[in-house]
Structure formats: structure tokens, C-alpha cells
Amino acid sequence: MKRTTVIFSLALTAIALLASCASTKPATLPGKEITDWQARHENIMATTFATREQIANFPRQESKNPAVSMAHKIPSEYLADSRHEGKIIEVRYTATDRAGDGSQIEKVADVYIPYNYERDAKTRYSTVYLVHGWTGTSDVYFACDEGKHDLQNLLDNMIEKGDIPSVIVVTPTWDRDNKGKPLDESIKEMSVFWEELEKELVPYIDSNFRTIADRDHRAATGFSLGAASTWYSFIHSMSLFRYYLPASGNCFAIEERSEKPETNAETAAFLVQTLQSDNVSPGDYFIYSVAGTNDVAFRLNESLNNELVKYPDYFNERNFVYQLNEGGIHWWDSIQVDFYNALPLFFKK
């Protein structure tokens, strides 16, 4: 009897060990890690809308919005290398060329995965989609700072310090060729990108990465024209995303790049009507809107936000945060301050 018990116990132990090994088996990634960041940086700088120096001296702007507050600056240690480094891989997926001939094309996106992703085959993660602005590419947020990896370091350190849960960050492109284009062509591609996100990219990411595949664990974010893309997702894809970060840009639903109060009043009314017609509760979304005080797009944010707060039943202190980044300019790395302040507010449910 004792011998049978011992054998049974050993068998259970072996099963447990096998299960443990299975759970810690390294994850298979659907793409290759990116290492040629300097070359990608040079490619971006060759077609970008301006240099950092050309836009650095835009005069400081003042907000008159009663809801505005100042964003926190990033402590320097958050931009240093972390003991627990994630990695960035490039993936390719099939999408419809909605701004072109409607054919099926191969698209590219960069994906940041946290350090523990490959070590733990069971854990699932929230996902942040970060869309670039005009002349950007899928690489621009991770390659804009000449190989310093500031955005990756920020994510690594925020996760390591417990400021945010481990997350996956996806940086796609609306551009079929993943390169800078004339503004009119970019706006055309950007304005329909929400549908690619909804029908092709999000399903691809959910099928190939261990995501928590529901709206409570997804965020739509973007800078400049990427902010306009974020607002399109707010209008069309509320079933996919609970959290939104439109940075340094506004909504193009009524008119493109308008600072006019009357146009943004119409835009705000349209957004409220959309929420009402879709029976969306104010508790079903959270918006973090931000711009730099020295950002050429400051007035785009300010004008729209001044109108949104006139609808407190839909945009109030519980679901809408408007902040300014002191000294922030219209450059790609501004998203780092935006993420530092916004991500701790996301994924609360």
C-alpha cells in the first residue's frame, strides 16, 4: 500500500514538473527583433516634415481651459537602461488598401513586448496602439532619438517600477509603403486607417500575441495626425477601445486641422451625438488629451477641448483629462511625456 502511494506521489510530481516546464517554455514570436535602429532613424530623418531644430522655437502658448492641468516631467532614471529590458519586433500582416485600389497588401508594424513576455507563456497583456503623425513610419517612435531607445527605456522602467502593468505596444503605419508622403495623401490614408485597425491589425495582434482581447484592455493613441486617427477610432471603434490618447492634434470629422471655435463646436456636438446614437455611457470611455505649451499644434487641441468641456455629462473629470507638457514641442519624442502621464491612468477596470 505504501509503495503504491509513493509511486502515485512520484507520478503526480512528474506531471507537475512537466506542467511547470510547459508554462515557462519561451514564447514563439511572429516576427524578428529589430536591431538596425540607426539605419531606420536615418530613413525617417530623410523624409520627416522638419528637423527638431526648425520647430524648437515656437512661442509658448497659454490655455484658458478650466479643466487643464500640467503634465509631470519624466525623472531621468526612467530613460536609463532598465534591468528588465523588453524587445521590439517587426511583424507583417495582410490588409486592404482602402485609400488606394482596394487590393490586399502587406503592411508592417513594430511591436514592443515586455521583458517577461517570453518567460511566461501563460500571462496575457493589455495592448496600446500608437499611431504616428505626418511623415512618420512604424519605426518613428522607437527610432526618432538616434538609437537612445528612450521610449523603450521608459516602458521598461514604468513596468519594472510598478507604475503600469506589463503591456504590449503596437506602432503601425497607415501608409501602404511605410514612408513619408505629401500631406493630402497622408490625410487620405489616415482617415480610413481606423477600419484597418478594427478589421485586420487588432485581430492579427490578438491572434499572434497573448493579449487580453477585450476593449477594457486596449488603448488607441496617436500624435499629430495620429491624434486625428485616434479620434476616428473613438467615433467608429468604441467596441474595440476603452482608452484614448489624442496628442497634439484634433478631430477631423467636420474639418481638417481647424482651430476655429465654430468648427470645433460643431465637432464636439457631433462627438456627443455619436455617443448618444450609439448608446455609449460616459463611463465606457476615458480620454487623455495633451499638447506641449510650445507645440505648433497647441491650438488644435485647445480649441477642441474648450468645446468638449461644455458637455460635462459626456466629458468630465471622471473620463476626460486635459494636460499640457511644459516646454513640449511638436516632435515625436513628446509622446514619452504623454505616455508617462497617461498610461498609469489606463487599464483600471
Residue 9, pLDDT above cutoff 50 = no
Q: What is the mean pLDDT of residues 54-69?
A: 93
- Spell out the residues 6+ positions from residue 108 whose beta carbon is closer than 8 angstroms to its own: 90, 91, 92, 138, 172, 173, 178
Integer Cα distance of 249 and 227 in angstroms:
5
Residue 105, pLDDT above cutoff 90 = yes
Integer Cα distance of 233 and 247 in angstroms:
14
Residue 12, pLDDT above cutoff 60 = no
Please report which confidence band the pLDDT of residue 42 belongs to, taking 50, 70 and 90 as the band edges. confident
In a domain, 25, yes or no: no
In a domain, 10, yes or no: no
In a domain, 111, yes or no: yes
Integer Cα distance of 329 and 27 in angstroms:
39
In a domain, 4, yes or no: no
Considering the chain, what is the average pLDDT of its residues? 90
What is the count of structural domains for the chain? 1
User: What pLDDT is stored for residue 323 in this prediction?
Assistant: 98
In a domain, 179, yes or no: yes
User: What pLDDT is stored for residue 147 in this prediction?
Assistant: 57
User: What pLDDT is stored for residue 143 in this prediction?
Assistant: 87
Residue 39, pLDDT above cutoff 90 = no
Residue 8, pLDDT above cutoff 80 = no
Query: For strand 286-292 and strand 218-223, is the pairing parallel, antiparallel, or unpaired?
Result: unpaired
| pLDDT tens digits, one per residue of 322-343 | 999 999 999 999 999 999 999 9
| pLDDT tens digits, one per residue of 164-183 | 999 999 999 999 999 989 99
Residues 89 and 110: beta-carbon distance below 8 Å: yes
Integer Cα distance of 84 and 214 in angstroms:
27
Please report which confidence band the pLDDT of residue 349 belongs to, taking 50, 70 and 90 as the band edges. low
Q: What is the dihedral of CA 54, 57, 62, 63, to 10 degrees?
A: 20
Q: What is the mean pLDDT of residues 211-236?
A: 98
In a domain, 202, yes or no: yes
What percentage of the chain carries pLDDT values higher than 70?
91
Give me the CATH number covering residue 84. Answer: 3.40.50.1820
In a domain, 153, yes or no: yes
Domain that holds residue 84: 30-345
| pLDDT tens digits, one per residue of 230-261 | 999 999 999 999 999 999 999 999 998 888 88
In a domain, 86, yes or no: yes
- Spell out the residues 6+ positions from residue 55 whose beta carbon is closer than 8 angstroms to its own: 296, 329, 330, 331
Residue at 110: amino acid letter: D
Least confident of 9-18, 53-62, 112-121, 299-308: 9-18
